[in-house]
């Protein structure tokens, strides 16, 4: 991961900007630049992934225009070949194609950039900035207004605390120009469902996911894989191992007392012939990490925080023990293919509407979690299930094929790889617990007990009402909110709501986001 920054005016001093920019130095520890371009500022903190030489350092410039980008432009080699001869190239960085593309296509370039980018671009002809974010918000970007009335952009909200009164996430699939947002792509609105039947859908899902994984294996820095033992990460690992034709490095984590998924991760790793490392974490490590994790996440959501504790500690241990710079992950599969709770969807329309809502908001939940946990440890996360072509297609599949018609969740995804020999059936068809449960049920129980001891009943009822948006409803949620407010005072609106099963569906009006509380949890996570 890298950090980008942009300000539409130059009234903020270099000293001010540098002080705030330092909050995200772990995202880009290799090099830093903060430059005034015209009447604007651009900043960049580099984590070297493509072209590890100094030539890959940003901002890139072209005839007076400048750009900073946190992203991977998958397929950039073909784009570059189409531009060579007309524009000079001085590095092997994927992001150097951005300014030539802007000269050729203007705002039309954003839809060509793929699935993982956030950028701020200075156009010298207008002496103004443009900013844009990928279709799902896999790469982070936030904005606010400084005391001079200028707009400031940054990769994380912590860079803007103290500079801007109100901080908001930059909407995915949009670009910003002249004070206004413009949508350039919409992957989740379906006006007409695909006519594909189940067999055709499975074949296309397989082809699209394999293509997505293959694109994300392109890196000049060492690459590793998070492997929980569940379907999503196991598929990413299996496809990668087959494409690379050599052992991959995989990592998993679980509680030291009752890890659920470590054994399944071990099984998958052995089947793949992976170089596998299993970490454990203790109750003390979890509780000590809690304030740090809430601070780096910038959220008060229960589900996101719970799931981040294991992921953050796993990434921390990877960073301490290896030279890896890139991690492949399995996020976004659940949103596309269904959760345990979407078994309760009352109709095809209800299922589709829930999928759209979850994918549209994913940048404030699971994608946020993956980005911060990995970036805080100076590594880059890549998300194959977030590929634009894959997301667009899966959203277009008629929900009657995606709903749980066979007594097993995510049936289409499982069937797509049946008979391929990529994974043993025990992994391919196993129902998996949510990550915050799969590391061990004791972790969530420990967090609840810790929060319970933190407040009296009277304190909880009084203090929860201080927050009209996202009002805490358990002592655990109040604890998280109060830690959040210490670091992001008054910025609770960055998160739309608690991630919870849809309470309007029968069987989903629950008081905890864990799938453990649902009646259909069954053998998940055992």
Report the number of secondary-structure helices (H) and strands (E) in the chain: 19, 17
Question: How far is residue 380's CA from residue 220's CA, in Å, rounded to a whole number?
Answer: 12
Assess contact for 290 and 309: CB atoms under 8 A: yes
Peptide bond into 59 cis (omega under 30): yes
Q: Is the distance from CB of 516 to CB of 436 less than 8 angstroms? A: no
121/131 Cα distance (integer angstroms): 6
Distance, CA of 95 to CA of 343 (rounded, Å): 42
Taking each helix axis as running N to C, give the angle between helix 475-487 and helix 441-452, from 0 to 180 degrees, rounded to the nearest 10. Answer: 80
Cβ neighbours of residue 180 closer than 8 Å, sequence gap 6 or more = none
CB distance 341 to 335 below 8 Å? no
Structure tokens at 16: 């001010």
- 222 alpha-carbon distance from chain centroid: 20
Terminus-to-terminus CA distance in the chain, angstroms? Answer: 34
| 193: enclosing H helix or E strand | none
User: 249: how many CB neighbours lie within 10 A of its CB?
Assistant: 19
Q: Are strands 180-183 and 249-255 parallel, antiparallel or unpaired?
A: unpaired
- What is each CA distance from 356 to 117, 212, 304, 399, in whole angstroms? 21, 21, 19, 11
Spot the catalytic one: 2, 40, 314, 315: 2
Q: H or E segment at 70?
A: strand 65-72
Angle (CA) 429 434 437, round 5°: 120
Query: In the 3-class helix/strand/coil scheme, how is 283-302 assigned residue by residue?
Result: HHHHHHHHHHHHHHHCCCCH
Chain length of the chain: 526
Q: Which residues contact 100 (CB under 8 A, 6 or more apart)?
A: 62, 83, 86, 87
**Token reading at 180:** 């206004």
88: which residues sit within 8 A by CB, 6+ positions away?
none
One DSSP character per residue, 110-176 reads GGGS-SEEEEEEEETTTTEEEEEE-TT--S--EEEE-TTS-EEEESSGGGTBTTBSSEEEPPTTEEE
Question: Strand runs (DSSP E) across 356-419, as ranges?
Answer: 380-382
Residue 2 is a catalytic residue? yes
Q: 281 has which bridge partners?
A: 255
The residues that are catalytic are 2
């Amino acid at each position: 991961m890298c950090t980008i920054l942009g300000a539409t005016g130059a009234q903020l001093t270099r000293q001010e900007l540098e002080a705030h920019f330092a909050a995200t130095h772990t995202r880009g520890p290799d090099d830093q630049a903060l430059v005034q371009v015209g009447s604007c500022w651009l900043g960049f903190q580099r984590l070297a992934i493509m072209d590890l030489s100094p030539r890959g350092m940003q901002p890139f410039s072209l005839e007076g225009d400048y750009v900073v980008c946190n992203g991977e432009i998958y397929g950039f080699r073909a784009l570059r070949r189409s531009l060579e001869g007309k524009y000079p190239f001085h590095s092997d960085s994927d992001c150097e194609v951005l300014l030539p593309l802007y000269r050729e296509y203007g705002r039309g370039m954003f839809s060509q950039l793929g699935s993982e980018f956030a950028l701020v671009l200075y156009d010298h002809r207008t002496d103004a900035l443009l900013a844009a974010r990928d279709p799902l918000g896999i790469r982070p970007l936030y904005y606010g207004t400084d005391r001079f009335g200028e707009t400031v952009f940054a990769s994380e909200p912590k860079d803007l605390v103290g500079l801007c009164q109100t901080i908001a996430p930059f909407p995915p699939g949009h670009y910003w120009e002249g004070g206004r947002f413009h949508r350039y792509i919409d992957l989740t609105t379906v006006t007409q469902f695909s006519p594909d039947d189940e067999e055709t859908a499975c074949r296309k899902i397989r082809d699209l996911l394999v293509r997505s994984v293959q694109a994300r294996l392109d890196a000049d820095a060492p690459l590793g894989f998070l492997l929980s033992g569940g379907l999503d990460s196991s598929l990413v690992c299996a496809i990668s191992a087959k494409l690379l034709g050599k052992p991959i490095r995989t990592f998993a984590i679980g509680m030291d007392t009752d890890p659920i998924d470590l054994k399944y991760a071990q099984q998958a790793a052995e089947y793949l012939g992976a170089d596998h490392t299993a970490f454990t974490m203790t109750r003390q490590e979890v509780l000590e990490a809690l304030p740090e994790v809430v601070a780096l996440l910038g959220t008060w959501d229960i589900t996101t925080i719970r799931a981040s504790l294991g992921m953050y500690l796993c990434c921390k241990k990877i960073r301490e023990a290896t030279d890896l710079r890139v991690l492949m992950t399995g996020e976004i599969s659940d949103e596309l293919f269904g959760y345990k709770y979407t078994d309760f969807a009352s109709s095809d329309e209800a299922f589709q509407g829930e999928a759209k809502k979850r994918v549209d908001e994913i940048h404030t939940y699971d994608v946020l979690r993956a980005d911060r946990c990995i970036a805080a440890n100076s590594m880059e996360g890549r998300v194959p299930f977030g590929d634009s072509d894959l997301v667009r297609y899966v959203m277009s599949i008629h929900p009657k094929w995606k709903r749980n018609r066979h007594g097993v969740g995510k049936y289409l995804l499982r069937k797509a790889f049946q008979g391929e020999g990529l994974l043993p059936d025990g992994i391919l068809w196993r129902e998996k617990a949510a990550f915050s449960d799969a590391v061990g049920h004791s972790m969530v129980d420990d967090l609840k007990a810790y929060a319970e001891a933190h407040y009296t009943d009277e304190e909880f009822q009084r203090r929860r009402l201080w927050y009209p948006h996202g009002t805490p409803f358990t002592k655990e949620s109040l604890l998280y909110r109060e830690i959040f407010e210490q670091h992001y005072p008054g910025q609770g609106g960055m998160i739309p709501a608690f991630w919870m099963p849809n309470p309007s569906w029968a069987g989903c009006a629950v008081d905890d986001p864990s799938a453990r509380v649902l009646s259909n949890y069954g053998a998940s996570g055992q």
